[in-house]
Every structure is written in structure tokens, then in C-alpha cells.
Amino acid sequence: MGVEQTVKGGQPFVPVTDGVHKAIGDPGVNATETWAAMHKTIFNFSNTPIPTTDSAGVAGYGSKKLYDFLAGVIEIFGIVVNLTTQKQGAGIAASAAVVASIGSAPAAADATLTGTEADMIASTVATLNASGAGTFKAKTGATPIQFDGSTTPLDMYLNIAIPDAGSTANDALLVTGTIAVFWTNLGKAT
């Protein structure tokens, strides 16, 4: 919750916490201002495993649920992903053509990330090098994105997919770094 102040009939209520913001009302004008309505949520990872399932002859895939939003219309103003990756075991091949995304649904049993698997951050190349290490760096575009989670609250997942040639058994991809999400809940739509 933010700091809320109400101004009634020209009598300012000014609990200035940052030395700058002030709301001054004229007689007969009431104003309500809420500060910090936008949330900044930072997810920190330190060799966090994203378990992968090998779907024989199809692909390897995995997801990590990051967030359960409260019910309401969620507007995401921006996401910045800055992760390094490392294969954990022998089930993921060195130099595997990994792709990663952030979406409102977990990864499906295939080698692509589309639709709700990638509706927050699009599928992004995160290919591993010969040592089995890689990066997942991405950001949203300039336009905010909105999700109506009024009936079914919105979820957020970090998703990965690996083509069949790069996945031979269940394994995990270790991630280190941060994902920063700037968002607000606009309330329930009726």
C-alpha cells in the first residue's frame, strides 16, 4: 500500500516524506492522492534450479512459478530480465539451443514458447555455450501490457524449452541473476 493523503476544503494535509510532493486543495475541492501505486518486484536467483522434463522425441521443457498476483486487472509497465544459465547435469546437452520466456502459463511439452507461455516476455534465444552456460537477457517493449485477472488471478512463470536434440533426460537449468517487474493492480473489472 502507498501513502495516502486527503485534502479537504482548502486545508492541506501534507505528510511530505520525500520533501517534494504536496497536495493543496482549493475550498470545495477534495482530492485523494496515493503514492507508490506501482510495485517494483525484484526476483533474485542464485543457482536456482528450473527442473526440466524430457519429452522423448519432442523436447525438454521446464517452468518456475514466480508470482501469484491478487485478483484484479494487472498492468505490467515493464520487465527486465538479466539471468545467467548453466546446465546442471547430463540431460541437457552443452550448446543446447535453449529458449526462455516469461508468461502467464507454464511451458508445454514442446520446443517452442508461444501464446500464454510467453505473453509477458517473448521467447528469447538463450543458447548454451560449449561449457553448458548461457544468458537470458530481455525486456518488454515501450507499451504496458494488461491482464484481466478479476475472475482467475494472474500467475507469472519463468519458462524454458529445449529442442529434442539438446535434451536427452530430465535435468535442470540453474539460473542466477534478477528479474525486475514494474506493475500495478487496477482493481477488479465488473
The model scores a pTM over 0.75: yes
- Give the span between the Cα atoms of 98 and 160, in whole angstroms: 7
- Give the span between the Cα atoms of 1 and 124, in whole angstroms: 34
Q: 108-146 pLDDT, tens per residue?
A: 999 999 999 999 999 999 999 999 999 999 999 889 999
Distance of CA 106 to the CA centre of its chain: 12
| Closest listed residue to residue 189, CA positions, set 75, 73, 37, 70 | 73
DSSP 118: G
| Closest listed residue to residue 120, CA positions, set 151, 144, 85 | 144
Per-residue pLDDT of the chain (190 residues; tens, 9 = 90+): 333 444 444 444 444 444 444 444 444 444 444 455 788 899 999 999 999 999 989 999 999 999 999 999 999 999 999 999 999 999 999 999 999 999 999 999 999 999 999 999 999 999 999 999 999 999 998 899 999 999 999 999 999 999 999 999 999 999 999 999 999 999 998 7
- Give the span between the Cα atoms of 187 and 165, in whole angstroms: 45
| Closest listed residue to residue 75, CA positions, set 189, 183, 161, 188 | 183
Q: Checking DSSP bridges between strand 155-163 and strand 99-103, what pairing results, if any?
A: antiparallel
Phi, psi of 19 (to 5 degrees): 80, 5
Q: What is the 3-state secondary structure (H, E, C) of 111-180?
A: CCCCHHHHCCEEEEECCCCCCCEEEEEEECCCCCEEEEECCCCCEEEEEEEEEHHHECCCEEEEEEEEEE
Which CATH architecture group holds 39-185?
Sandwich (2.60)
Domain ranges within the chain, ordered by starting residue: 1-37, 39-185
Helix and strand totals (H; E) in the chain: 0, 11
Coil, helix or strand for 164?
helix
